[in-house]
Amino acid sequence: MPAETEHHIGGGIGVAVLLGVSGGFVDAYIFLNVVAVFVANMSGNLIRLGIATGQGELSIALGGGVALLAFMAGVAGATSYIDRRVVRHRRGCSFK
């Protein structure tokens, strides 16, 4: 299993702030103008899913649930892909 530090890209605080601001902007814009689902940050979708489920508003819960499932599938796929590349690189193959 690859070490956790091999998955991280270094960067300064400026990069972190820029990513946070851009993610927040994308979330707010899409939520207010396109569809009431958070596309950049999943914690809001989890909260909306719980509240909507508790209130019996299943159509709202469905949107958050689909977003969360798609996010988890993307994380699983990306993790598998990166792990295979790290293992291949350790064996001396090129990183392509």
In order, the DSSP letters of 50-89 are HHHHHHT-HHHHHHHHHHHHHHHHHHHHHHHHHHHHHHHH
Query: What is the distance between the alpha carbons of residues 28 and 19, in angstroms, rounded to a whole number?
Result: 14
Structural domains in the chain (count): 1
Task: Supply the range of the domain harboring residue 74.
Answer: 12-90
The pair of three-digit structure tokens given for residue 21, joined into one six-digit string: 């601001």
Query: Is 4 a member of any domain?
Result: no
In a domain, 3, yes or no: no
Report if pTM > 0.75: no
Give domain status of residue 2, yes or no: no
Q: What is the pLDDT of residues 1-40, one digit of tens each?
A: 555 555 566 678 888 899 899 999 999 999 999 988 888 8
